[in-house]
Amino acid sequence: MMKIVYYVFGAFIGFGCGSILNLVFYWLDQSGVHFADYLIKNFGGFGRFVLEMINSLPLFGAALGIILVKILFGNQLDRSER
């Protein structure tokens, strides 16, 4: 049971950090620095790909949070199951 709590907490923290990073890029674009237009005009399809990666930062953050919990607390979680 504790294993699930640790993984959910890691996903929550990762999702929160990814959302904050996504908001920073959104605010940058809204403040007059047209970051999205620059990427699309200068890099074409690759620029659109980078923008989609920025939009999916919360999901990547959640996945990386789960992986980080597995790496950091893997031994303790495996011992607590016994």
The one-letter amino acid code at 55 reads N
Write down the domain spans for the chain: 2-81
pLDDT at 76: 80
pLDDT at 57: 93
Tens of pLDDT, residues 19-74:
999 999 999 888 888 888 888 899 999 999 999 999 999 999 999 999 999 998 88
Please identify which residue in the block is written with the tokens 């237009």: 37
The one-letter amino acid code at 48 reads R
pLDDT at 82: 59
Quote the DSSP letter at residue 70.
H
pTM for this prediction: 0.78
Q: How far, in Å, CA of 33 to CA of 45, rounded?
A: 20
